[in-house]
Structure 1
Amino acid sequence: MKKRTFLLVAACIALPGLLSAQQTGLKDAVSGHFLIGAAINQRQSDGKDANATKVLKRHFNTIVAENCMKSGLLQPRENKFDFRAADRFVDYAEKNGQVPIGHCLIWHSQAPRWFFTDDEGKRVSREVMIERMRKHISTVVGRYKGRIKGWDVVNEAIEDDGSFRRSPFYEIVGEDFIEIAFKAAHEADPDVELYYNDFSMSKPGKRAAVCRLVKRLKDAGCRIDGVGMQSHNGLDYPDLSDYEASIDSFAACGVKVMITELDVNVLPNPRGFGGAAVEQNFEYQKKYNPYTAGLPEDMAEKLRERYKALFDIYRRHSGQISRITLWGISDANSWLNNWPVPGRTNYPLLFDRKYNEKPVVDDIINMYK
Structure 2
Amino acid sequence: MRLRRLLLVSAAAVALGGTLNVVPVSAGSSPPDPSNQSLKALGQRHNLYIGTAVDMAALDDPADPKYRELVKSEFSSVTAENVMKWESLEPTRGTYNWGPADKLIEFARKNNQKVRGHVLVWQNQLPTWLTEGVANGTISTTELRDLLKKHITNVAKHFKGKIWQWDVVNEAASDPWDSPSSIHLKGFWAQHLGPNYIADAFRWARAADPSALLFYNDYNLEAFGDKGPSDKTYYVYNMVKQLKQSGVPIDGVGSQGHLGTQYGNYNAFQVKEALDAFSGLGLSTAFTEVDVRSQMTAGVQGGDSNEINPRLQASSDNFSVLMQACLANRHCLSFTFWGFTDKHSWVPTWFTDPLEGLATLYDESYQPKRAYYAIKSDLIFAGPPYVLPRGKK
Going from structure 1 to structure 2, the CA distance change for 1:237 and 1:142 (only over 3 Å counts) comes to farther
Q: 1:128 is aligned with what amino acid?
A: E
CA distance in 1, matches of 2:353, 2:87: 22
Q: What's the % identity of the aligned pairs?
A: 28
2:52–2:75 contact (8 Å) kept in structure 1: yes
Change (3 A) 1:364 1:169: closer
Q: Which amino acid aligns with 1:76?
A: P
Query: How far 1:212 sits from its partner (Å)?
Result: 2.1
Match of 2:266 in 1: 239
2:271 and 2:325 in contact (8 A); partners too? no
| One of 80, 92, 96 as aligned partner of 1:77 | 92
Matching residue within 359, 368, 372 for 1:357 = 368
Question: CA contact under 8 A between 1:336 and 1:348: conserved in structure 2?
Answer: yes
Question: 2: CA distance between counterparts of 1:136 and 1:156?
Answer: 18
User: Do 1:90 and 1:100's aligned partners in 2 also have CA atoms closer than 8 Å?
Assistant: yes
In structure 2, the partner of 1:324 is 335
Report whether the alignment pairs 1:302 with 2:287.
no
Q: CA RMSD in A?
A: 2.5
Q: Where does residue 223 of structure 1 map in the other structure?
A: 249
Relative contact order (C-alpha < 8 Å, sep 6+): which is higher? Answer: 2
Question: Residue 184 of structure 1: which of 204, 208, 213 is its match?
Answer: 204
Q: Secondary structure at the match of 1:266?
A: strand
The aligned residue for residue 54 of structure 1 is: 69
1:343 deviation in Å? 9.2
Contact 2:166 2:213 in 1 (8 A): yes
* Count of residue correspondences: 332
Return the alpha-carbon distance in structure 1 between the equivalents of residues 343 and 61 of structure 2.
Answer: 17
Please tell me whether residue 292 in structure 1 is matched to residue 301 in structure 2. Answer: yes
1:119–1:108 distance in 2 versus 1, CA, 3 Å: closer
Following superposition, the deviation at residue 300 of structure 1 comes to 2.3
Where 1:355 maps in the other structure, the secondary structure is coil
Q: Does 1:25 align with 2:43?
A: no
| Superposition deviation, residue 80 in structure 1 | 1.5
Distance 1:116 1:216, change over 3 A: farther
Gap regions ≥5 residues in structure 1: 1-18, 269-286
Candidates 206, 210, 220, aligned match of 1:200: 220
CA separation of 1:350 and 1:118: change in aligned 2, threshold 3 A: closer
Identify if the C-alpha distance between structure 1 residues 348 and 128 changes in structure 2 by more than 3 Å, giving closer, same or farther.
same
The answer to whether the Cα contact below 8 Å between 2:348 and 2:357 also exists between their aligned partners in 1 is yes
Return the offset for 1:229. 0.3
Q: Distance in 2 between matches of 1:366 and 1:239?
A: 20
Identify the residue that residue 41 of structure 1 maps to in structure 2: 55
Please list the CA deviations of residues 91-141 of structure 1 after superposition, one character each: whole Å capped at 9, or x if unmatched: 111122221111001100101122245388227333111100011111111
Note the residue ranges of structure 2 that are not aligned, 5 or more in a row: 1-32, 177-181, 226-230, 381-393
Where 2:233 maps in the other structure, the secondary structure is helix
Aligned counterparts of 2:135 and 2:69: Cα–Cα separation in 1: 50
Higher mean Cα deviation, 185-194 or 90-99? 90-99
Tell me how far 1:145 sits from its aligned partner. 0.6
Letter in 1 for 2:35: A
- Letter of the 2:337 partner, please give it: L
- Hey, what's the Cα distance between the residues in 2 that align with 1:290 and 1:225? 45
Q: Name 1:252's counterpart in structure 2.
A: 280
Q: Which residue of 2 aligns with 1:140?
A: 155
Q: Normalized per residue, which structure has more helix? A: 1
Supply the distance in 2 between the matched residues of 1:334 and 1:120 (Cα, whole angstroms): 33
1:173 to partner: Cα distance? 1.0
- 92-101 vs 178-187, which deviates more? 92-101
Q: Any idea what SS the aligned residue of 2:104 has?
A: helix
Distance 2:71 2:153 in 1: 30
| SS of residue in 1 equivalent to 2:357 | coil
Are 1:149 and 2:164 matched, yes or no? Answer: yes
Counterparts of 1:119 and 1:107, CA distance in 2:
15
Q: Per the alignment, do residues 119 and 352 of structure 1 end up closer, same or farther by CA in structure 2, a change over 3 Å counting?
A: closer
Q: Deviations over 1:268-313 (max 9, x none)?
A: 7xxxxxxxxxxxxxxxxxx5x5422446233323323333333233
Give the TM-score normalised by structure 1: 0.83
Amino acid at match of 2:50: I
Offset at residue 79 of structure 1 (A): 1.1
Alpha-carbon shift at residue 82 of structure 1 (Å): 1.1
- Aligned equivalents of 2:74 and 2:153: distance in 1? 33
Distance change in 2, residues 1:53/1:118 (3 Å)? closer
Cα separation, 1, equivalents of 2:252 and 2:88: 25
